[in-house]
């Protein structure tokens, strides 16, 4: 399968020759339509190579109707994702280095590797982590995505998603995504992102996933169909961090009517007020802000990379 080199060069940088040939590239994750490898990349005059994540899109994956995806559609997905990633400039969104030809039928997407893993694992291993700061930084990154022109819809916001298919998972999905009169799946929207962001805020501030006490996914779906939203956790972490004001703010994200949910900028402003803190950085920071100035953003980078692009 051939892809016009001129099209790729217009979108991103070919870093094939900069990936170390003597470095192993282990498979570290599988998504609904792609695989993630870890490798090393030489960058200019930098002495030590940097670790990178290599996203390899699979060709011929099955869509929601059980049909194999045409190769041309996979190519369009690749070009679209490269184009979107190349235009990103925010400390909470992963840094794109370019693409490589050495990992699959299609060019692979090469971006910064985040050693801390996903947010759920990080919080489990670091129970004293600054959860409020994490929530603020995630919210700032989502605001950045939603206020781009055209807006970028995340589509599957959750703390752990490296192995999750593109269509999302019911515990984090908005009512309108689960129940649609049309036979075709409904596209994610800013409003459905806000529902999922509320679920993520619940995870970060309590250490529990939505509907933690219910193991049966069909039962979760039935409860959402009947108009119920995730119950308020009462564990030790929730007792410390989830006060009434924060809980009520999270609940606004779960309004049955998508139009009644807050937009991301309103939510971020209200979150800063509830947490009685200044927002960590503007939603649109100065161009090419060095990653070294925001060391904590590494965790948020991991979260957004694997949700957006796996």
Domains of the chain, each with CATH number or no CATH = 5-112 (3.30.200.20), 119-309 (1.10.510.10)
Confirm whether residue 158 is marked as ligand binding: no
pLDDT at 284 over 60: no
Q: What pLDDT score does 310 carry?
A: 35
Q: What pLDDT score does 46 carry?
A: 64
33-67 tens-digit pLDDT = 788 888 999 887 666 788 888 988 887 766 656 67
Query: Which one, of 122, 133, 161, lies nearest residue 277 by Cα?
Result: 133
Q: What pLDDT score does 47 carry?
A: 66
Distance from C-alpha of 224 to C-alpha of 226, rounded to nearest angstrom: 5
Q: What pLDDT score does 2 carry?
A: 55
Please, what is the average pLDDT of the chain? 78
Q: What pLDDT score does 298 carry?
A: 37
Query: Which one, of 304, 303, 294, 305, lies nearest residue 91 by Cα?
Result: 294
Q: What pLDDT score does 136 carry?
A: 87
201-250 tens-digit pLDDT = 999 999 999 999 998 888 888 898 889 999 999 999 999 999 999 999 99
Of the chain, the percentage scoring pLDDT greater than 90 comes to: 28
Q: What pLDDT score does 273 carry?
A: 93
Query: Which one, of 309, 298, 257, 281, lies nearest residue 119 by Cα?
Result: 298
Contact between 220 and 171 under an 8 Å Cβ cutoff? The reply is yes
At 137, is the pLDDT very low, low, confident or very high (cuts 50, 70, 90)? confident
pLDDT at 101 over 50: yes
Token pair, residue 276, equals 């009685």
At 30, is the pLDDT very low, low, confident or very high (cuts 50, 70, 90)? confident
Distance from C-alpha of 259 to C-alpha of 46, rounded to nearest angstrom: 49
Q: What pLDDT score does 261 carry?
A: 97
Higher pLDDT, 27 or 266: 266
């Amino acid at each position: 399968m051939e892809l016009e080199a001129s099209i790729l060069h217009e979108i991103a940088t070919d870093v094939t020759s900069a990936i170390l040939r003597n470095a192993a590239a282990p498979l570290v994750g599988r998504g609904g339509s792609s695989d993630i490898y870890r490798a090393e990349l030489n960058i200019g005059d930098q002495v030590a190579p940097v670790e990178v994540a290599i996203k390899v899109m699979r060709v011929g994956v099955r869509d929601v109707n059980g049909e194999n995806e045409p190769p041309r559609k996979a190519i369009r997905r690749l070009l679209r994702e490269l184009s979107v990633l190349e235009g990103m400039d925010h400390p909470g969104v992963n840094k794109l280095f370019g693409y490589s030809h050495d990992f699959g039928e299609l060019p692979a997407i090469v971006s910064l590797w985040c050693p801390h893993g996903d947010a759920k694992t990080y919080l489990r291993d670091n129970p004293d982590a600054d959860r409020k700061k994490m929530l603020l930084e995630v919210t700032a990154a989502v605001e950045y995505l939603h206020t781009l022109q055209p807006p970028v819809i995340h589509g599957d916001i959750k703390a752990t998603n490296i192995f999750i298919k593109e269509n999302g998972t019911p515990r984090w999905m908005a009512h309108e995504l689960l129940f649609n009169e049309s036979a075709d799946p409904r596209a994610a929207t800013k409003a459905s992102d806000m529902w999922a962001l509320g679920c993520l805020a619940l995870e970060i501030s309590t250490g529990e996933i939505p509907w933690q006490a219910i193991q049966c996914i069909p039962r979760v779906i039935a409860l959402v169909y009947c108009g119920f939203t995730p119950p308020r956790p009462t564990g030790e972490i929730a007792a410390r961090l989830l006060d009434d004001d924060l809980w009520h703010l999270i609940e606004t994200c779960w309004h049955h009517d998508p139009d009644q949910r807050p937009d991301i900028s309103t939510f971020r402003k209200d979150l800063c007020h509830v947490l009685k803190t200044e927002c960590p950085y503007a939603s649109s920071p100065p161009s090419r802000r060095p990653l070294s100035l925001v060391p904590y953003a590494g965790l948020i980078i991991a979260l957004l990379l694997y949700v957006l692009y796996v």
